[in-house]
Amino acid sequence: MVLTINAGSSSIKFGLYEEEANPEKTFGGQISRIGLSGSMLSYTNFKTNHSANTESKSTDYVSAISFLVSWLEKQINFSEINAIGHRVVQGMAHTKPTLISAELLDELKLIIPYDPDHLPVEIALIEAFQKYHPRIPQYACFDTDFHAGMPRVAQLLPVPRRFDQRGIRRYGFHGLSYSYLMRELENRVGKQALMVRIILAHLGNGASVTAVYNGKSMDTSMGFTPAGGLPMATRSGDLDPGVAWLMIQTENLSAEKFNHLINHESGMLGISQTTGDMNNLLTQQHTDIRSAEAVALFCYQVKKWIGAYAAVLGGVDILVFSGGIGENSPEIRARVCEGLEFLGISLDASQNNENASLISVNESRVMVMVLPTNEELMIAQIVSKMLVHKQLLES
């Protein structure tokens, strides 16, 4: 069995999978709204089809991790678990999934300043399972892996070269999601899907757009950190350095306060002043101009990135929407695609409203699809493959 752990900005998802080429999920769930009121742990036993919720009382990530580890002890048999796979957002020099060692943990701790919103939690989860189950090997599956082969020009930042030598460049994220979507495309469309021009839009609380050609990432909207690119639920997205300087000067912001501002107070929340949740914004937009502007900006920016990546690729053959917003919001998809007819994008309104997997009209030059993503399954597949490789080396 493989246990997967996926820590997000306000949640921790977990899953238990059969160890095989196409792992089957037997148990899973998540702690949501960590640090917010009403934090809950929800789970499903897929063997018995039993689902339940329980209050987690997780006031922060420290309490959430402690609660999760002790709760899992009562729910699953750790003696049956052969490995634990973790989503690690920032991999920097690491371009492949890696067995977690003391040396790797030391490396990750050194780069915490590069990703202070994800790495501390991911490291804490790894160390918690090490403490209680030291015999179980743990693997890091890096979100940056999918983009590691981007062209050099897409990685460069226009700052003095000494920063590039320190590893400060564009890395890209949501790699596990994009890897899964490419496998799904191959399963549904065939191997030719890997040979065409594809734009993948992972739209959720965290959002990014990626250009893919011949199965490889050519460019992606998130850059050095997951705060770059599109405006998101609470993240600013790309920001004029002059605006950043003015914010710091006029509000006397420390580095920590500025980081909190652009990651947790900006984006849709900052514009609407009420919420970063897209469902709430869509409901409020008809009576609240701030919510309407937040929705409009999000759609406008996604459309801009799609247009930009059509230029990078020399056109587009397949456009994929995924993530919580991309999978579930017909209005957002329609507003993003409106005006992109010149690229060959034409939606079928009824199919789009039904969240069908294919939402473009038959005559559309671009195939527009809605594909649910599954980062946990991707982690389980990666770790299962690594365990098989390890067994072959040992035999």
Catalytic residue list:
143
DSSP for 49-102, written as a single string:
TEEEEEE---SSHHHHHHHHHHHHHHHS-GGG--EEEEEES--TT--S-EE--H
Alpha-carbon distance of 210 to 319, in angstroms, equals 10
97's tokens: 């999934």
Alpha-carbon distance of 133 to 101, in angstroms, equals 14
> Within 10 A of 252 (CB to CB), how many other CB atoms are there?
8
Residues 3 and 16: beta-carbon distance below 8 Å: yes
- Give me Rg for the CA atoms of the chain: 21
Cβ-count burial 204-223 (b if 16+ within 10 Å, e if not): bbbbbbbbbbeeebbbbbbb
Residues 48 and 56: beta-carbon distance below 8 Å: no
Residues 11 and 32: beta-carbon distance below 8 Å: yes
Q: Report the SS3 class of residue 2.
A: strand
C-alpha triplet 329, 235, 203: angle, nearest 5°: 25
Write phi, then psi, for 309 (nearest 5 degrees): -80, -25
Give 102: exposed, middle or buried? Use CB within 10 Å, 0-12, 13-18, 19+: exposed
- Sheet arrangement for strand 12-17: 50-55, 40-45, 25-32, 12-17, 2-7, 83-88, 138-142, 98-99
